[in-house]
């Protein structure tokens, strides 16, 4: 895979994403659906690997790059991940001043809602691929309920779900 093309595809995704996983729909469309660079499973693995450790929420972009082109791809993914931040610094001053304008506020809200919709639409296929049995569905539902309705630390819920998954694999 051409590293410049990989960098540009990942940069396009990170520029159009407004949060950690906001770029996932664009990456899914470009890498899985349109160009068949990665399979659903490889994208799932990249997202899981990128989200498993500490660090920025969008770190999975570097993992997508790794899946597509090894270590050079991971470096291209990392550069694509930081490019929007480096581009926004010079224009941040303007937007801070302009953010008081009601039309700009409404536009930002509309973009956030659109990003949330895209995130849900791309998460559903990934969720279907990762829930492969009744036990994994039960673990996913239980983890969601614990995170949504209690104040249990997220890392503990993830560790518990991983332990349950490992224990079920041993049997």
pTM of the model: 0.59
Q: What is the mean pLDDT of residues 122-127?
A: 80
CB 80 within 8 A of CB 11: yes
The answer on pLDDT for 151 being more than 80 is: yes
pLDDT band per the 50, 70, 90 thresholds, residue 19? low
1, pLDDT greater than 70? yes
Quick: pLDDT tens for 56-79. 777 899 999 999 999 999 999 999
Residue 27's pLDDT band, with cuts at 50, 70 and 90, is very high
Task: State residue 42's pLDDT score.
Answer: 94
Buried b (16+ CB within 10 A) or exposed e, 33-59: eeeebbeeebbbbbbebbbeeeeeebb
Which pLDDT score is estimated for 156?
93
Q: What is the model's pLDDT at position 146?
A: 94
The answer to whether residues 21 and 57 touch, using CB atoms and an 8 Å cutoff, is yes
Q: Which of 23-37, 41-55, 83-97, 116-130 has the highest mean predicted lDDT (pLDDT)?
A: 23-37
Q: Can you read off the two tokens belonging to residue 129?
A: 């691929």
Q: Is 81 exposed, middle or buried (0-12, 13-18, 19+ CB in 10 A)?
A: buried
* pLDDT higher than 80, residue 18: no
Q: What is the mean pLDDT of the chain?
A: 86
The pLDDT of 37-63, averaged and rounded, is: 87
46: its two tokens: 């990249």
Rounded CA-CA distance 23/59 in Å is: 11
pLDDT at 96: 67
| Burial tier of 12 (Cβ tally within 10 Å: 0-12, 13-18, 19+) | middle
């Amino acid at each position: 895979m051409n590293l410049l093309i990989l960098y540009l595809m990942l940069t396009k995704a990170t520029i159009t994403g407004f949060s950690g996983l906001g770029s996932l729909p664009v990456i899914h469309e470009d890498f899985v659906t349109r160009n068949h660079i990665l399979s659903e499973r490889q994208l799932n693995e990249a997202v899981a690997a990128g989200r498993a450790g500490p660090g920025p929420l969008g770190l999975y972009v570097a993992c997508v790059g790794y899946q597509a082109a090894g270590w050079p791809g991971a470096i291209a993914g990392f550069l694509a991940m930081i490019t929007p931040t480096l581009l926004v610094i010079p224009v941040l001053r303007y937007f801070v001043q302009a953010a008081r304008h009601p039309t700009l506020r409404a536009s930002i809200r509309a973009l956030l809602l659109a990003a949330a919709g895209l995130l849900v639409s791309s998460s559903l296929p990934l969720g279907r691929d990762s829930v492969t049995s009744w036990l994994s569905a039960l673990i996913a539902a239980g983890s969601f309920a614990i995170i949504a309705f209690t104040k249990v630390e997220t890392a503990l819920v993830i560790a518990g779900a991983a332990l349950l998954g490992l224990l079920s694999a041993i049997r």
